[in-house]
A and B are shown apart, each in its own frame.
Chain A
Amino acid sequence: MEISKGWNARKKKQLQVIIAFTIVPLFLLILFTYYPFLEMIRYSFYNMKYIGPRKFVGWRNYVQVFTRPDIIRTLLLSLYYMVGSVVQVALALYLATIFCFKVKGENLWKGFIFFPYLINGIAIGFIFKFFYTRGFVLDTVLQVIGFDLENLPYWLKDQKINNWSLVFTSIWRYMGSNMVLFLGAMMSVDDTLYEAASLDGANKWQTFRHIILPSIKTIVTLNIILSITGSLSAFEPPYVITSGANGTGTFFVVMNDIAHTSQKVGLASAMAVFLLFVIIVAKFVQDALFKYIFRNADTDDESADVARARKKAQKAAARKAKGGA
């Protein structure tokens, strides 16, 4: 009797703290995320402005998402950002690998490459408007290494090149943070593995292939997938640098325009719901892919012993390969 009474009192106290500690975050989450989300789904079936009458139009907004040429164009545009993000991940991986070996002045180089990540979007907008202006920073540097100004394009106006210019700013900004992320994963590898490999005469490629790569493949795969879905929602570079002019308006920039300038709230909502649908599908594909890739449980979670055993086997194989060659 006593015990159950104490137990009940305890449950009651727990309940108090649970309620006290969850009510504010849940309230904020519902107010600023879930309520707007549900409203957005509802709006996507209406023809409406911010103020004034609303007319139910069924699926018509969704049909427009797939038929308006300006929206379809943006879907193709995201391919630029997809290519960009693959380049970004590859470059980050390459540099992180370099920093895994001894580099003089490592902290300084790392700091330079990472710092752009900490700059705010508006400042980046100004920096690159300046950078790409005719005859300014980029043109000057290219002239120094032998290009003729006459042959250089207008980086932000010329439609053949301007989307690549914007993609470059995105790589410039985020590559350093990817690099730090990969480096973090690589550094979590036991130091003795690197030493053993070097004692064993493994070359740089073998070290990368057998020690570094296994330790980061989860995070690399995750980042590639993330950046692919991220490329659909690319927003900042065109928003702050070109305002979407000269054919640089991405899906989000066009949506932002439709919502705020043309005030077609229903259509903008339908675009947002469509984007969310794509993201959710991508998430499922990602989960399925992960299950498939790591079905043999050969992941980062394996115990140190297993890792060491695998290492030994690989070393032996490497030695054999070397002997054979």
Chain B
Amino acid sequence: MAKTTAAKVRHHYSAGTIIWEIIKYASVILCSFIAILPIVSCVITAAKTPEEYQTTNVMTPPANWLNFSNYLEAFKTANMGTAFRNSLIILVFVLLGSIIIGTQLAYVLNRFKFPGNALIRNMFTFAALLPGIAMQVVVYEIMTNLHLVNTMYGYIIMMCGTDVMSIYIYIQYFENLPVSLDESAFMDGASYFRIFYSILLPLLKPAIVTNLILKGVGVYNEYYCANLYLQDKRALCTVATSLYTFTGPLGSQYNMICAGVIMSLLPALIVFIALQNQIYSGVAAGAVKG
């Protein structure tokens, strides 16, 4: 887009154009630099031996970029093997659960008129306004009474609930799928369950991908509830909470901490590189509703 603009402009370099080009690249490069500086400084520090870390400035490049000893150390100390496994299990079940729940609800809300339809929509909209962290006081009591504290499935159930934003994304997508599709299948004798699972759900794939990304990022990075409800920090840590290991007495060993931090964001980085465009459109779609 706007490529033609630049091509046209190239023929006559006016002073204004040159200044604009300079401002443009200066802004972009400066902002990119600020965005990656904190991360790059972690990569530098993570590759330093303890002696190097003690004696050199933080921004001095390490003697050996391929020094992985801090990574191994951090991986062991923070129990990150378990953390990655737990985070994966949580991600799989929460994403599966929330997609089933969310698509089903959106299907019913979009395709059928029934008393309570508007009420359910409003309930989800209003729920988005409620301050979540504030209500953990009560949620904690509920979780305790249901014996769900300190269990992986308890945390998974809690995270499974859907939210107004994903429902909205699904409903928007359902609106583009013609009702005649359902009708003809119904005339052929398919049940509503069958219509949903074998006809509509496969067509919903783009909306599901969008929600997978949004929810996936949220779940992988969630730490407040994980910290509150998965109290056995050895066996039940997630990637986000495993980093808590580095507070306290280990709090100043930044070469190890940085290695842990970098490891925790590697999965996000890989997914980001692979799915860049879907992530951008997911963010754009999700935020329209706020």
Kindly identify, within residues 1 to 46 of chain B, every residue whose CB is under 8 Å from any CB belonging to chain A: 1-6, 8-9, 16, 20, 24-25, 27-29, 31-32, 34-39, 41-42, 45
Q: Are A126 and B37 interface neighbours, CB within 8 A?
A: no
Docked-complex contact B24 and A101, CB < 8 angstroms: yes
Q: A103-B24, A256-B133 are in contact. Are A116 and B101 (CB under 8 A)?
A: no
In the complex, identify which listed stretch (B104-112, B172-180, B203-211) lies at the interface while the others stay far away. B104-112
User: Is B243 close to A, CB under 8 A?
Assistant: yes
Partner of B28, one of A10, A109, A119, A223: A109
Asked if B217 contacts A195 (CB within 8 A), the reply is no
CA distance A265 to B244 in the complex (A): 26
Please report A residues at the B interface, Cβ cutoff 8 Å.
10, 13-18, 20-22, 24-26, 28-29, 31-37, 39-40, 43, 50, 91, 94-95, 98-104, 107-123, 126-128, 130-131, 133, 135-137, 140-141, 172, 176-177, 180-181, 183-185, 187, 191, 194-195, 197-199, 203-204, 219, 222-223, 226, 233, 235, 252, 255-256, 259, 265, 268-269, 271-272, 275-276, 279-280, 283
Q: Which of B54-74 contact A (CB under 8 A)?
A: 57-59
Is the beta-carbon distance between B37 and A137 smaller than 8 angstroms? yes
Q: B32 touching A33 by the CB < 8 A rule?
A: no
| Contact A269:B161 (CB < 8 A) given known A184-B284, A204-B20, A283-B129 | no
CB distance from B43 to the nearest CB of A (A): 11
Query: B137: which A residues are within 8 A, CB to CB?
Result: 36, 40, 43, 50, 259, 265, 268-269
Question: A67–B108 Cα gap in the complex (Å)?
Answer: 48
Q: What is the CB-to-nearest-CB distance from A131 to chain B, in angstroms, rounded to a whole number? A: 5
Q: Which residues from A are CB-within-8-Å of B158?
A: 32
Interface residues in B248-288 (C-beta closer than 8 Å to A): 254, 257-258, 260-261, 264-265, 268-269, 272-273, 276, 279-281, 283-285, 287-288
| Nearest CB in chain A: distance from B7 CB, A | 8
Contact, CB under 8 Å: B38 / A29: no
Q: B267 to chain A: closest CB distance in Å?
A: 10
Question: What are 19 of the A-B contact pairs (CB < 8 Å)?
Answer: A14-B112, A18-B112, A25-B105, A33-B130, A40-B134, A112-B32, A116-B39, A118-B268, A120-B265, A126-B261, A127-B261, A136-B58, A140-B59, A172-B35, A180-B283, A194-B4, A272-B135, A276-B134, A280-B129
Q: Which of B120, B134, B243, B257 contacts A26 (CB 8 A)?
A: B120
